Chains A and B, each alone.
Chain A
Amino acid sequence: MNEAARSFLRAIGAPLGAIALTMALGFLLVASITDEPVQAYRDLLFANFDSLGNFALFLNRATPLTLIALGVIFSFRAGVFNVGGEGQLYAGAIAATVVGVFFADLPAVILLPLAVAAGIAAGAFLGWIPGVLKVRLAVDEVVTTLMLNTIVLLFTSYLVNQVIRDTSAYGAVSRMVAKSIWLPPMPGVPGATSGFLVAVVLALVTWVVLFRTEWGAQLRAAGINLRFANAVGVPANRRIISAMLVAGGLAGLAGALYVLGIGHRFEQNFSPAYGLVGLTCALLARIHPIGALATALFYAMMLNGAAYMQISTDVPRSLVNLLTGLLVLLMTARLRKSGLRG
């Protein structure tokens, strides 16, 4: 076996182990609930492919997950532990919605790019704050991104409830964005957003940027060893801030594409913790963009499949939430014991 193959296996071994362990624990749980654990698991994983409609919903789940995971990859590669995906996602979604609602009279050729740009900009702004604070003052980015998540959630709650609420609808949802800027469905899969194609293309672009450009090499150098990066003439601080702008921008784009392609309006709580799950996908993929596309698809499969599982067997769909927790808990663990005495 050559070295590349061996290092590839080493890289995916631990995440695969965490997934396998989680799925096995989940299976035991399911087996204790229902007489048809195999049926339940089949639905959880493969009911997505039973019909075109199911498949479309599955792709719609995968789109924001992929984009957020890509953003997380940029920030992590630059050495920033960005857990702010959720806030950046909400910021992007609300910004696109506000533009789409208030400037509905503009022609689509202007309004659509404007709404997307607003989403990206809002997310990027939210990435910029922790980036600058970390670089200039060494403020811990975990804290700032965590806090910003809640701030943004509260702010969007204010906007959707008090400013752009659709009073005719039930629940905290905004007015619809102009129909002219709804994204077209994916060719061949009605009901699936074409935003998924954007996510796939961006996964490839991310890989090229990170691993096949000097800019990407500098960004990774800054993330691996800041003092080394400075010594070899890399403008490390600028690279880190750029990485956070891109990270926030990608999560913001995820929000904008969700609104324009799937929801067509801002819904409070539209995200089943996409931010954290996207982070999970990125980490499971060992912060590799192509791998993250795969893990995002896997996760979308489970998130979506849970509904079919609940219908066909009596296993609650929140099984998936529980499994997500388990997986996140387990995924950075090493089998090698470190020992309490260290």
Chain B
Amino acid sequence: MTDNDTILSLRGIAKTFGEKVALKRVDLDVRRGEVHVICGENGAGKSTLMNILAGIHQPSAGEIVLNGEPVRIPDPIAASAHGIGMVHQHFTLVPSMTVAENLFLGRQPRRLGLFSDRAAMVDRARELSLRYNFGLDPNAPVGQLSVGQRQRVEILKALAFDAKLLILDEPTAVLTPPEVDELLQVIDGLRARGRTILFITHKLREVKSVSDRVTVIRHGESISTHRTADVSEADIARDMVGRDVFLVGRKGDGAARSFGAPVLKLDRVSMTNSHGRLLLDAISFDVRAGEVMGIAGVDGNGQTELSEAIAGLMAIQGGAIELCGRDVTRASVAERQEAGLGFIPEDRLDRGLGVTMSVAENVAATNYSRAGILRHGFVDRGRLDAFAASKIKEFDVRGAQASTPVGWLSGGNMQKVVIARELERDPALLVVCQPTRGLDIGASEFVHERILAAADRGHAVLLISSELSEIFALSDRIGVMYSGRLMRVLDRAVADEATVGTLMNGGEAVAA
């Protein structure tokens, strides 16, 4: 390989934030005109690496060689001057501004040296959109575009400044399946025009079809680089984790297991947003005692709304919800908890925890009277701390004392605090959403064990996850959601990934 083939080389890149090591040593060669995937678990250092290339962070050690020249990238402007364009996972668009204004944000063409040259911006935006066949209206405010269109604005923004190397950070995470297909076509088109694309993801599956090579990063180190065609997903997964992945699974034969009476019953539950769009479309199913019901689906197909409707955080416009024989359709969160609801929300930091509050206060939040923390109606500090200490021990919450602010813990330990709190009530129904999102493998295994143990004790579990492997490993029955509808409920024994995958993309499965 000559220097001419290699557009970008990273040599021993390291990055520390204070005492925390984000990147230990990363070596990477990206060839001109290839689609290169960087795979790694959450927390492996992918984002840090990309932020270094985008000029947002400076490496603590190592060398960036671009087109054969060692370079420094002090800020995003320098990155784009070097021909590096970055498409962030969280869009960096200003909603009230038009497509054209966003494309030229921070570098507008000027008239008389002082004023914005709007006409030039609009013309250039239109020309760019046409050239790459993006179909964007330069004068449309970005706030009114769909997620897929916004992503195309982001890509166009990078291309507008002639990015030779385009970095896409987890671009599929926010897209619906048809939008993912469109994105892959866009990527294919860009490669055909000689652009180099660096694709960051932890889901190789989605991008395997368009990628040329893949580099795996683990714990801040580059582990391996392969031609995509030569490796299987299992190989990649092993490199990502560092050992053979052992998934906790439902023990025994699912068909032989007997379940109790229905704990949760949904009857034609419907939810619409203010624009009249159906978020949940007449969803009916029930979950029986001792059973794990998995809900699969690509993010954004109504799973969040479903969980919040059951938890009492969003109102439904039609249908009924019954919990342990009680109609809780109009009940408050507290009333549902009383009726037997345990809820592990999908976003720990947003819904699950008060991050500046102590571990004790978080784990006690719903349990003051139940756990005997109150004495004569007042909080007994000694009992509160003792309760927290027992939960910290029981759930192996590492690095925590009762008084530690919960936000200081790692993601896995935070999740344990949430689970400890919700299981304390011994809820008849446990609604679990994306329970291992952002967790490392060890913590994921712990969480999975706890969920299964709850089901074995006779709790009904509703597991909502966009990770198919998780759904398959834990569920007794699998429901698939697409576009607010519950497409089908399958028994685990007869479900296979192909069927579920088709249903997740809105297709009707032939075999059931």
When A and B assemble into the complex, do they touch directly, with CB atoms less than 8 Å apart? Answer: yes
Q: Name A residues whose Cβ lies closer than 8 Å to a Cβ of B.
A: 3-4, 7, 208, 211-214, 216-217, 220-221, 224-225, 227-235
Q: What is the chain A residue whose CB lies nearest that of B353? A: A228
Q: What is the chain B residue whose CB lies nearest that of A230? A: B313
Interface set, chain B 64-103, CB cutoff 8 A to A: none
Tell me whether A228 and B368 are in contact in the complex, defined as CB-CB below 8 angstroms, given that A208-B378, A212-B381, A217-B361 are known contacts. no
Query: Is A233 a contact of B350 with CB atoms below 8 Å?
Result: no
Query: Is A220 a contact of B357 with CB atoms below 8 Å?
Result: yes
Checking B336, B354, B356, B378 against A213 with a beta-carbon cut-off of 8 angstroms, the contacting residue is: B378
Q: What is the chain A residue whose CB lies nearest that of B405? A: A7
User: Within the assembled complex, what's the spacing in Å between the Cα atoms of A276 and B250?
Assistant: 61
Tell me whether A212 and B354 are in contact in the complex, defined as CB-CB below 8 angstroms, given that A231-B345, A232-B365 are known contacts. no
User: Within the assembled complex, what's the spacing in Å between the Cα atoms of A4 and B352?
Assistant: 26
User: Within the assembled complex, what's the spacing in Å between the Cα atoms of A7 and B311?
Assistant: 36
Contacts of A220 in B (CB 8 A): 354, 357, 361
B5 to chain A minimum Cβ distance, whole angstroms, is: 36
Query: Is B332 a contact of A228 with CB atoms below 8 Å?
Result: no
Query: Is A229 a contact of B313 with CB atoms below 8 Å?
Result: no
Interface size range on B against A = 20 to 34
Contacts of A7 in B (CB 8 A): 403
Query: Is B377 a contact of A221 with CB atoms below 8 Å?
Result: no
Checking A212, A224, A227 against B378 with a beta-carbon cut-off of 8 angstroms, the contacting residue is: A212
Contacts of B354 in A (CB 8 A): 220-221, 224-225, 228-229
Query: Is B337 a contact of A214 with CB atoms below 8 Å?
Result: no
User: Within the assembled complex, what's the spacing in Å between the Cα atoms of A233 and B332?
Assistant: 8
0/1 string, B367-397, CB within 8 A of A gives 1 = 0110000100111010000000000000000
Query: Is B368 a contact of A233 with CB atoms below 8 Å?
Result: no
User: B343 near A: Cβ within 8 Å?
Assistant: yes
Checking B355, B369, B403 against A214 with a beta-carbon cut-off of 8 angstroms, the contacting residue is: B369
A56 to chain B minimum Cβ distance, whole angstroms, is: 35
Tell me whether A211 and B379 are in contact in the complex, defined as CB-CB below 8 angstroms, given that A227-B350, A231-B345, A235-B332 are known contacts. yes
User: B243 near A: Cβ within 8 Å?
Assistant: no
Query: Is A228 a contact of B350 with CB atoms below 8 Å?
Result: yes
Tell me whether A232 and B366 are in contact in the complex, defined as CB-CB below 8 angstroms, given that A208-B378, A214-B374, A214-B379 are known contacts. yes
Query: Is B333 a contact of A230 with CB atoms below 8 Å?
Result: yes
Query: Is B368 a contact of A217 with CB atoms below 8 Å?
Result: yes
- Most chain B beta-carbon contacts within 10 A, residue among A4, A7, A214, A232: A232
Tell me whether A224 and B365 are in contact in the complex, defined as CB-CB below 8 angstroms, given that A213-B377, A231-B311, A231-B313 are known contacts. no
B343 to chain A minimum Cβ distance, whole angstroms, is: 7
Query: Is A233 a contact of B334 with CB atoms below 8 Å?
Result: yes
Tell me whether A233 and B337 are in contact in the complex, defined as CB-CB below 8 angstroms, given that A211-B379, A212-B379, A214-B369 are known contacts. yes
User: Within the assembled complex, what's the spacing in Å between the Cα atoms of A216 and B357?
Assistant: 13
Contacts of B357 in A (CB 8 A): 220-221, 224
Q: Which 4 A-B pairs have the closest CB atoms?
A: A233-B334, A233-B333, A224-B354, A231-B351
User: Within the assembled complex, what's the spacing in Å between the Cα atoms of A224 and B358?
Assistant: 12
B22 to chain A minimum Cβ distance, whole angstroms, is: 19
User: Within the assembled complex, what's the spacing in Å between the Cα atoms of A224 and B405?
Assistant: 12
User: Within the assembled complex, what's the spacing in Å between the Cα atoms of A233 and B403?
Assistant: 22
Give 24 pairs: A residue, B residue, CB < 8 Å, sorted on A. A208-B378, A212-B378, A212-B379, A213-B377, A214-B368, A216-B379, A217-B368, A221-B354, A221-B365, A224-B356, A225-B354, A228-B353, A230-B313, A230-B333, A231-B313, A231-B333, A231-B345, A232-B333, A232-B365, A232-B421, A233-B332, A233-B334, A233-B336, A235-B332
Contacts of B351 in A (CB 8 A): 227-228, 230-231
Query: Is B313 a contact of A228 with CB atoms below 8 Å?
Result: no
User: Within the assembled complex, what's the spacing in Å between the Cα atoms of A3 and B400?
Assistant: 13
Query: Is B366 a contact of A233 with CB atoms below 8 Å?
Result: yes
Q: What is the chain A residue whose CB lies nearest that of B379? A: A212
Contacts of B356 in A (CB 8 A): 224
Q: Name B residues whose Cβ lies closer than 8 Å to a Cβ of A.
A: 311, 313, 332-334, 336-337, 343, 345, 350-357, 361, 364-366, 368-369, 374, 377-379, 381, 401, 403, 421
Contacts of A230 in B (CB 8 A): 313, 333, 351
Contacts of B403 in A (CB 8 A): 3-4, 7
A177 to chain B minimum Cβ distance, whole angstroms, is: 37
- Most chain A beta-carbon contacts within 10 A, residue among B353, B364, B365, B377: B365
B439 to chain A minimum Cβ distance, whole angstroms, is: 19
Query: Is B333 a contact of A217 with CB atoms below 8 Å?
Result: no
- Most chain A beta-carbon contacts within 10 A, residue among B343, B377, B379, B401: B379
User: Within the assembled complex, what's the spacing in Å between the Cα atoms of A158 and B274?
Assistant: 45
Given contacts A212-B378, A213-B377, A228-B350, 13 further A-B pairs with CB under 8 A are A3-B401, A212-B379, A212-B381, A213-B379, A214-B368, A217-B361, A217-B379, A220-B361, A221-B354, A229-B354, A232-B333, A233-B332, A234-B334
User: Within the assembled complex, what's the spacing in Å between the Cα atoms of A7 and B408?
Assistant: 14
Query: Is B368 a contact of A231 with CB atoms below 8 Å?
Result: no
A183 to chain B minimum Cβ distance, whole angstroms, is: 30
Q: What is the chain A residue whose CB lies nearest that of B374? A: A214
B422 to chain A minimum Cβ distance, whole angstroms, is: 9
Contacts of B377 in A (CB 8 A): 213
B429 to chain A minimum Cβ distance, whole angstroms, is: 14
Contacts of A211 in B (CB 8 A): 379
Contacts of A216 in B (CB 8 A): 379
Query: Is B355 a contact of A225 with CB atoms below 8 Å?
Result: yes
User: Within the assembled complex, what's the spacing in Å between the Cα atoms of A157 and B350?
Assistant: 46
Contacts of A214 in B (CB 8 A): 368-369, 374, 379
Q: What is the chain A residue whose CB lies nearest that of B375? A: A212
Contacts of A227 in B (CB 8 A): 350-351
Contacts of B343 in A (CB 8 A): 231
A342 to chain B minimum Cβ distance, whole angstroms, is: 11
User: Within the assembled complex, what's the spacing in Å between the Cα atoms of A208 and B337?
Assistant: 27
Contacts of B421 in A (CB 8 A): 232
B123 to chain A minimum Cβ distance, whole angstroms, is: 33
User: Within the assembled complex, what's the spacing in Å between the Cα atoms of A221 and B364?
Assistant: 11
Query: Is B352 a contact of A231 with CB atoms below 8 Å?
Result: yes
Q: What is the chain B residue whose CB lies nearest that of A229? A: B354
Contacts of A208 in B (CB 8 A): 378
Q: What is the chain B residue whose CB lies nearest that of A224? A: B354
User: Within the assembled complex, what's the spacing in Å between the Cα atoms of A4 and B385?
Assistant: 14
User: Within the assembled complex, what's the spacing in Å between the Cα atoms of A229 and B352?
Assistant: 9
User: Within the assembled complex, what's the spacing in Å between the Cα atoms of A213 and B401?
Assistant: 21
User: Within the assembled complex, what's the spacing in Å between the Cα atoms of A36 and B351?
Assistant: 59
User: Within the assembled complex, what's the spacing in Å between the Cα atoms of A221 and B360?
Assistant: 13
Q: What is the chain B residue whose CB lies nearest that of A211? A: B379
User: Within the assembled complex, what's the spacing in Å between the Cα atoms of A4 and B353?
Assistant: 22
User: Within the assembled complex, what's the spacing in Å between the Cα atoms of A212 and B368?
Assistant: 11
User: Within the assembled complex, what's the spacing in Å between the Cα atoms of A216 and B374?
Assistant: 13
Contacts of A221 in B (CB 8 A): 354, 357, 361, 365
User: Within the assembled complex, what's the spacing in Å between the Cα atoms of A213 and B313?
Assistant: 25
- Most chain B beta-carbon contacts within 10 A, residue among A216, A220, A229, A231: A231
User: Within the assembled complex, what's the spacing in Å between the Cα atoms of A228 and B352?
Assistant: 6
Contacts of B353 in A (CB 8 A): 225, 228
A233 to chain B minimum Cβ distance, whole angstroms, is: 4
User: Within the assembled complex, what's the spacing in Å between the Cα atoms of A225 and B406?
Assistant: 13
Contacts of A234 in B (CB 8 A): 334, 365
Contacts of B350 in A (CB 8 A): 225, 227-228
User: Within the assembled complex, what's the spacing in Å between the Cα atoms of A214 and B334?
Assistant: 14
Contacts of A224 in B (CB 8 A): 354-357
